[in-house]
Structure 1
Amino acid sequence: MSVLIPFLALLLAGMAAAYFRISLKSWAIVSAVALAIGVAAGGSGWVTAVAAVLFALVAAPLLHVPTRRSKLTAPLLKIYTKMLPQLSDTERTALEAGTVGFEGELFSGMPNWKSLLSQPKPELSAEERAFLDGPVEEVCKMTNDWDITHVRADLPPEIWDFIKKNKFFGMIIPKQYGGLGFSALAHHKVIEKLASVSSTLSSTVGVPNSLGPAELILHYGTDEQKNHYLPRLADGREVPCFALTGPSAGSDATSLPDFGIVCEGEWNGAKVVGVKLTFDKRYITLAPVATVIGLAFRLYDPDKLLGEQDDRGITLALLPRGTEGLEVGRRHFPLNCAFQNGPVRGEEVFLPLSQLIGGEDYIGQGWRMLVECLSVGRAITLPSTASGGSRLAAVVTGAYSRIRKQFGLSIGRFEGVEEALARIAGNAYAVSALSEMTASAVDRGEKPAVPSAIAKYHCTEMGREVVRDAMDIHGGKGVILGPKNYLGRGYQAAPISITVEGANIMTRSLMIFGQGAIRCHPWVLKEMQAATHEDPDYRLKEFDRTLFGHIGFAVSNAVRSFVFGLTAARFGAAPGDAYTRRYYRKLNRYSANLALVADTSMLLLGGKLKFKERLSARLGDVLSQLYIASAMLKRYEDMDRPAAERPLLAYAFHDACYKIELALSTALRNFPIRPAGWLLWVLVFPWGRRAQAPSDRLGHRAASLLMSPSDTRDRLGQGVFLTPGENNPAGRINAALAKVIAAEPVERKFLKHVKAGELSALDYDGQLHEAQLKGMLSAEEVAMLREMQVLVHDAISVDDFDPSELVAASLHKKESGRKAA
């Protein structure tokens, strides 16, 4: 045993140094002390000497910087340069666009939780809250989604006028240009509430504020463009759209077939230098009603009117609706949803250079402009839409599950329904936390490229799961369309959010980890930049620093993964209270796992990794679930750690952990280099997978919260439109819940008499009347049950129509004319 003590001492010292990430010099000191302790503990003297010599042979060249650079770093730099994948200009632009926030900590293997928890709690200003309680509430009351989607296939004129008059299109436009100047959080809250009543309304308001020309003009426009367009966009005199997607290139701006040729032409009676545009775009939201159209195209200058370069790159322009040659096509009809959407085309449409967004200074920078602005749009509009729909579905489905009875029992008491309710509760909780966290990142001045991709993908996917489960619980109530149906249109619209702004398959397979692996990694991008620097002295010096920083980082994550795996992450410093501290420790473990597997993948696969889309998608899932879990913990802290909310947090958190381990295990089982996969498995899962899906007991507690009034349930439904009214059946059901629950004891007493055969009447009204006459129920109790009967009937009833009402208006008009003739 004395022979092993010196080597065990070195091993433990090295593991401790790696775990705590101390410097090389500190590692050498700790190792020397460990050897001395080993001798004192009975280690063999000559073996200790051998161990010390071996340690010195390793440590000396690492600690002596000139030797390390010449003998180790320089040869490795040559190898690295040959291995370095060649990035296209578009890939480089995508990687350099945006900023890195807390997602970078999750890639570190040792997250600094203070950086998350010190972020201020997201709060609305008094003006923003007044807007939500005033104009937003009012327009929700005006909205009849059945009239919009089935009768008009559009918003009614009074709603168009209202949202323009109240500057719904100008939320992000500063007050100096006549806009509302709202925060991203307020933008998120407005879209969330509108989406809970009508996806057509939320899409119509959302696009001008995050996916239209206003944001591009605000960030990149010339002073003239800002002063002309922003006031007109803010008050609705101009309705914008942005045309990117084409039939052959989709939303891939780098492959645009649409082009513009620099030439001279006539504009407003004067001869100017401009561009002749030829383009064919489709799926453009608001195009049929837009008065100004943003356009992405590739600009060419064959006559060298602007300089010596022919291909000037992707450029953006503004086309007024009346521009000669511009053709706005007929409407698309996306899955029975009524938001305005259609194609735009043009052949040799002339524009002056002054109509290019940003003018001549921004020629060729369109791809960067799009990447940065689309990341902000993805961070707000689509996640907020999913959050609004999910939160509404959660509280209303919970109410419906309590009100609707089968076999004399609320359907929410059946375990199959309860299981679906628990999923709804967990997903709605996660979506609301994630969408708010990404909006808050925008308010802090970030351009969250990676978080926006995470939010877009996972909010829309979880939103789809929520509405699917809600439809299953509602059964026929959700299937039969009509004014009383508050789920059907959301169910139909779910694939739209999945598809737009980068299809979810592409977002998961390519974007989340593809950008995150380089943008969020603490060393990879720095290594790449160091290895390609022009100054050879700086190149060697900086590459040496980043390379050995990266090596230490990788060793640390291997050790931390193994230690966390052996101890089930039960120990170690972590924030939070006694309840959540274990959650932070779990995330510390998974962060180290992600960093280790990502590093190994990039090292062994190099440039081939971007073609391993399954591996990239699974590692992206790990990063995503880490980010989602962090968002939920931040929400819990911001709400002052409400104990009653713990079942929702626990359900959603355990679900995230289960998905993380599933993604990691699937990635390692299918790792392209099998021996590396086996070794990683030992480091990541030394005892095998341990995370389980949320238990049935936890699911019962989460589902129960949706079926009874409480502060927790109110918080989950906060910010969605639940005001009861003729056009809001969901609000009526939610309002009925408390009254139905209050009547339940009386109902049980009444049914006991019915089952005992003490009442001779066969119909419900007759039985109530008889029970009152016999003194079984008081007059107040009978009134309570009659009111409950009305509320239940309203909750479970569905619509029916005369056949002529379902005939398309154009066909109905033709047939009516034929009969009249």
Structure 2
Amino acid sequence: MAFWIGALIVAGFALVLWQAHAWLHLMLFAAWIGAGYALGLIGWQVAAMLSVVLVPLLVLALHPVRRVLLTAPLRNVFRKIMPRMSPTEQAAIDAGTVWWDAELFAGKPDWRRLLATPAPSLTGEEQRFLDVETEKLCDLANDWESTAVWQDMPPAAWAYARDKGFLGMIIPKAYGGLGFSAYAHSQVIQKLSTRCSAAAVSVMVPNSLGPAELLLHYGTDAQKDHYLPRLARGTEIPCFALTSPYAGSDAASITDTGIVCRGMWQGRETLGFRVTWNKRYITLAPIATVLGLAFRVRDPDGLLGGETDLGITCALIPHDHPGVQIGRRHWPLNAVFQNGPTSGEDVFVPIDMVIGGRAQVGGGWRMLMECLAAGRAISLPSSNVGMAKLAVGGVSAYAAIRRQFNVPIGMFEGVQEPLARMAGHLYAIDATRRLAASALDQGEKPSVVSAIAKYHVTERARLIVNDGMDLIGGKGICMGPGNFLARAYQQIPIAITVEGANIMTRTLIIFGQGAIRCHPYILTLLRSAEEPGGAGLARFDRALFGYFAFLLRNAARALAFATPAGVLIPTPSGAAPELALYYRRATRLSTALALASDVSMATLGGTLKRRETVTGRLGDILSQLFILSAVLKRFEDEGRPAVDLPFVHWAARDALARADTALREVIANHPSRFAAIALRLLVRPFGGRFSAPDDRAAAAVAQLVQSHGPARDRLLAGSWTPRMEVDSIAATHVAFELYPAVAAIEARLRPAIRAGRIARLPQNFRALGTWAAEVQAQGLIDGGEREAITRFAEHADIAIQVDDFPSDFGLAEGLRQLDSSKPGALAEAAE
């Protein structure tokens, strides 16, 4: 009898995993009862009692009956507990596409699909532009001169950027642009960010959310023909004005308003708007020649023949248009890129200035959401990976050459721990950037993926730069042209704030959009719940019971996958065998995420979107699974280089541990105790946790990032090439290149040092030349080796020095250089 009951449980479990139709469950149970009775395992009384269970199964199997008895009442309940989506929420949900995030969210990722995704690559033209033009622009602009001298990208750099087409990378060649891929765009911004943030921002803004992108997707032919060639040449500088003082993260509630009216334009009466706006934080606004403007259109007189409130509209307005006010400048944390306010009072804007013309009046929110879905995946991820490479490259080189207690500081475990975090996080965020950009090049507009990339790349870049500042110590906190990291440290909060503050991105966008867009049934449930008639009820019925089957399937999978060592989790074919454990654990966490999300939605209903601690942590699980996917994919894309495995293992274990921590916090703090208990029993019946990278993993990463070789080269690939003839800030990197030869000489001389024949290598680099001369005099090194030591000493000494200035920071000298021929000039300047 026990065997017979066990067979039913196993067979039923299999049908649940298969998400089998109700008819199959009905047939299974009926056959089990009949066979049990025929074999004498159960009597007719028991068979009759068990047959009662067939009735609800029959109701579930007969769709017309199910709709009347179950679906219609459940739809009424659903309508009460789930709030209706506003038009702005609907536009945000509809924006972009779903991609690999949907696989992770559904709980059953097809790893073959990810591994089959083409690796990102550059064309020959794009690679040449990166190697030549981008390198040259890096030579022309640096953080110190931009912030301390020009308060902007230097004029020579601006002229070069315009002349070489940097401002029109996304514009097709037919309009005079470069027509670059998303990955090429990302690579250029990344490289500029390893050198000068002002250059990176000045280039990335015209190529991200702004007039060029909006025109390409929605503009009329006349608008494209007029503006795109000018934008590509840099004769027009664009900005896009969205954020208002009273509508920051809640951009859909902007108060800037345009009233539909008739007015005179170019000598004739035309339809248009009287627009009043007050915008701030608008990048490039102080120097823009064309202003992209988002405002809400109202038509109280019905001149457009529609509703009174027509919604958000985007227009393109010349900066010298009557009534346009370009304000002064904001000063965002020494980033010194052009940024400032703009305003206008009752400015008449003809309807032809609406991007896309009259047909796009009221379509602005959809435009913005769709373009943001792509833009977030490039601009800030690329610039922050660039800053992270600047930090890791400079700090690891500094740690390798800087000596204390007569050894390089990079040999100390206390230094290796943060250095490993820096390198491990960089490997992960660069992999994330690459995967997100490759999705765009395949025609996707993954809104959730772009939000993940924006949020987590900027957050980890903050961790990287903070660790870097700790490691270089006093050199990092003293400003000057020789400080390679301080400006990045100052500017990191900017990336955290713009394109959607990270708190909002984490708690609202990643899970909020992901739960609806990526789920196979939720969006259909929300839409069909409001549809009238039998067709709407039928769609709701299919979605609702599909949802129940989906939930049960993931519950069964979660319980099965919770077995010790995950023995029931399949290993994806074609994946690197040394990383198979990570694929299995990711599959387990993906199933747990799908189950936790469904249980949370079922128990919390419409209140879930206000439970931001829950949605934030569920979003963290999804995000870490995407980062892990990017890490595994990068290893495959780069040909499975075994030497890179310390980076891969550290990044993979870190992502798994973070996802596991978020899952445990969801369960421990879930508002529904029923949900918490159910999740704990199904997802973590045996307890345990995924461990973060241990000390051995950290030591291996720290050693690798301080060692010359292909692994370090791949980690820092795409950075500006530091050269002494361009900037003495390159001294750290030159000394690092020379150090292996010095270390080899030191190792060879170690017996002589121990024997007391010669002194140990001096810690003072300025004494190293004298030491080398003395050692050569004893015949222990030759002239070439002495020259290598001397060159290393010269550059290493420059690398560790800290800039200093006059006690008044040159104020008196600056005042003396004023034109004293002007009466009162000195006194005026002093005031």
Matching residue of 1:273: 271
1:508-530 deviation line (CA, Å, top 9, x unaligned): 11111111111110110111222
Larger CA deviation: 791-800 vs 448-457:
791-800
Which structure 2 segments of 5+ residues have no match?
none
Matched-pair contact (CA < 8 Å) for 1:13–1:31: no
- Pick closer, same or farther for the CA change 1:659–1:320 going to 2, 3 Å: same
Matching residue of 1:564: 561
Matching residue of 1:784: 788
SS of 1:208's partner is coil
- 2:539 is aligned with 1:542: yes
| Alignment-mate amino acid for residue 588 of structure 2 | R
| Offset at residue 751 of structure 1 (A) | 6.6
Matched-pair contact (CA < 8 Å) for 1:141–1:725: no
Pick aligned residue for 1:326 from 324, 333, 340: 324
Q: Distance in 2 between matches of 1:107 and 1:45?
A: 46
| Alignment-mate amino acid for residue 556 of structure 1 | R
Matching residue of 1:769: 773
Q: How does 1:52-451 map to 2 (within 5 A)?
A: 53=51, 56-451=54-449
- Pick closer, same or farther for the CA change 1:40–1:768 going to 2, 3 Å: farther
Larger CA deviation: 98-107 vs 791-800:
791-800
- Pick closer, same or farther for the CA change 1:406–1:347 going to 2, 3 Å: same
- Pick closer, same or farther for the CA change 1:488–1:182 going to 2, 3 Å: same
| Offset at residue 375 of structure 1 (A) | 1.8
Q: Distance in 1 between matches of 2:710 and 2:22?
A: 53
Q: Distance in 1 between matches of 2:350 and 2:469?
A: 52
Q: Distance in 2 between matches of 1:211 and 1:104?
A: 25
| Alignment-mate amino acid for residue 800 of structure 2 | I
- Pick closer, same or farther for the CA change 1:774–1:640 going to 2, 3 Å: closer
Which structure 1 segments of 5+ residues have no match?
none
SS of 1:209's partner is coil
- Pick closer, same or farther for the CA change 1:683–1:782 going to 2, 3 Å: same
Matching residue of 1:683: 682
Q: Distance in 1 between matches of 2:252 and 2:624?
A: 30
Q: Distance in 1 between matches of 2:815 and 2:38?
A: 97
Q: Distance in 1 between matches of 2:311 and 2:503?
A: 27
Matching residue of 1:591: 590
| Offset at residue 497 of structure 1 (A) | 0.3
- 2:822 is aligned with 1:818: no
Matching residue of 1:705: 704
Q: Distance in 2 between matches of 1:261 and 1:809?
A: 55
Matched-pair contact (CA < 8 Å) for 1:259–1:298: yes
- 2:663 is aligned with 1:661: no
Q: Distance in 1 between matches of 2:810 and 2:448?
A: 45
Larger CA deviation: 771-780 vs 131-140:
771-780
SS of 1:350's partner is strand
- Pick closer, same or farther for the CA change 1:553–1:47 going to 2, 3 Å: farther
| Offset at residue 31 of structure 1 (A) | 5.8
Matched-pair contact (CA < 8 Å) for 1:594–1:623: yes
Matched-pair contact (CA < 8 Å) for 2:30–2:51: no
Q: Distance in 2 between matches of 1:286 and 1:160?
A: 12
| Offset at residue 397 of structure 1 (A) | 2.0
- Pick closer, same or farther for the CA change 1:669–1:455 going to 2, 3 Å: same
1:752-800 deviation line (CA, Å, top 9, x unaligned): 6567554589954443322222233333332222222123213222212
- Pick closer, same or farther for the CA change 1:306–1:700 going to 2, 3 Å: same
Matched-pair contact (CA < 8 Å) for 1:9–1:34: no
Matching residue of 2:12: 14
Pick aligned residue for 1:574 from 549, 571, 575: 571
Matched-pair contact (CA < 8 Å) for 2:815–2:826: no
| Offset at residue 143 of structure 1 (A) | 2.1
Q: Distance in 1 between matches of 2:264 and 2:252?
A: 30
Q: Distance in 1 between matches of 2:125 and 2:316?
A: 32
Matching residue of 2:806: 802
SS of 2:588's partner is helix
Matched-pair contact (CA < 8 Å) for 1:6–1:39: no
- Pick closer, same or farther for the CA change 1:65–1:745 going to 2, 3 Å: same
| Offset at residue 128 of structure 1 (A) | 1.1
| Offset at residue 248 of structure 1 (A) | 1.8
SS of 2:566's partner is coil
- Pick closer, same or farther for the CA change 1:499–1:548 going to 2, 3 Å: same
SS of 1:6's partner is helix
Q: Distance in 2 between matches of 1:427 and 1:41?
A: 63
Matched-pair contact (CA < 8 Å) for 1:7–1:51: no
- 2:608 is aligned with 1:600: no
Q: Distance in 1 between matches of 2:815 and 2:498?
A: 32
TM-score, scaled relative to structure 1: 0.95
Larger CA deviation: 488-497 vs 71-80:
71-80
Larger CA deviation: 753-762 vs 626-635:
753-762
| Offset at residue 642 of structure 1 (A) | 1.7
Q: Distance in 1 between matches of 2:261 and 2:814?
A: 46
Matched-pair contact (CA < 8 Å) for 2:249–2:501: no
Q: Distance in 1 between matches of 2:812 and 2:432?
A: 41
| Offset at residue 464 of structure 1 (A) | 0.7
- Pick closer, same or farther for the CA change 1:50–1:744 going to 2, 3 Å: farther
TM-score, scaled relative to structure 2: 0.94
| Alignment-mate amino acid for residue 794 of structure 1 | I
SS of 2:315's partner is strand
- Pick closer, same or farther for the CA change 1:760–1:261 going to 2, 3 Å: closer
Q: Distance in 2 between matches of 1:760 and 1:71?
A: 93
1:7-59 deviation line (CA, Å, top 9, x unaligned): 33222222222234444444456667777998999966679847863553443
SS of 1:372's partner is helix
Larger CA deviation: 388-397 vs 597-606:
388-397
1:578-634 deviation line (CA, Å, top 9, x unaligned): 212221111111111111111111111111111111111111101111111111111
| Offset at residue 351 of structure 1 (A) | 1.6
Matched-pair contact (CA < 8 Å) for 2:151–2:336: yes
SS of 1:210's partner is coil
SS of 2:153's partner is coil
Q: Distance in 2 between matches of 1:37 and 1:401?
A: 75
- Pick closer, same or farther for the CA change 1:183–1:755 going to 2, 3 Å: same
Q: Distance in 2 between matches of 1:560 and 1:36?
A: 29
- Pick closer, same or farther for the CA change 1:318–1:429 going to 2, 3 Å: same
Matched-pair contact (CA < 8 Å) for 1:244–1:251: no
Q: Distance in 2 between matches of 1:665 and 1:786?
A: 56
Q: Distance in 2 between matches of 1:234 and 1:174?
A: 9
SS of 1:278's partner is strand
- Pick closer, same or farther for the CA change 1:579–1:285 going to 2, 3 Å: same
- 2:555 is aligned with 1:551: no
- Pick closer, same or farther for the CA change 1:700–1:272 going to 2, 3 Å: same
Q: How does 1:733-744 map to 2 (within 5 A)?
A: 733-744=732-743
Q: Distance in 2 between matches of 1:493 and 1:676?
A: 42
Pick aligned residue for 2:522 from 503, 521, 524: 524
Matching residue of 1:714: 713
Matched-pair contact (CA < 8 Å) for 1:148–1:155: yes
SS of 2:689's partner is coil
Q: Distance in 1 between matches of 2:634 and 2:18?
A: 29
- Pick closer, same or farther for the CA change 1:781–1:41 going to 2, 3 Å: farther
Q: Distance in 1 between matches of 2:49 and 2:775?
A: 93
Taking only the aligned residue pairs, the percentage that are identical comes to 47
| Offset at residue 818 of structure 1 (A) | 3.1
Q: Across the two proteins, how many residue pairs are aligned to each other?
A: 818
Q: Distance in 2 between matches of 1:25 and 1:370?
A: 46
- Pick closer, same or farther for the CA change 1:308–1:102 going to 2, 3 Å: closer
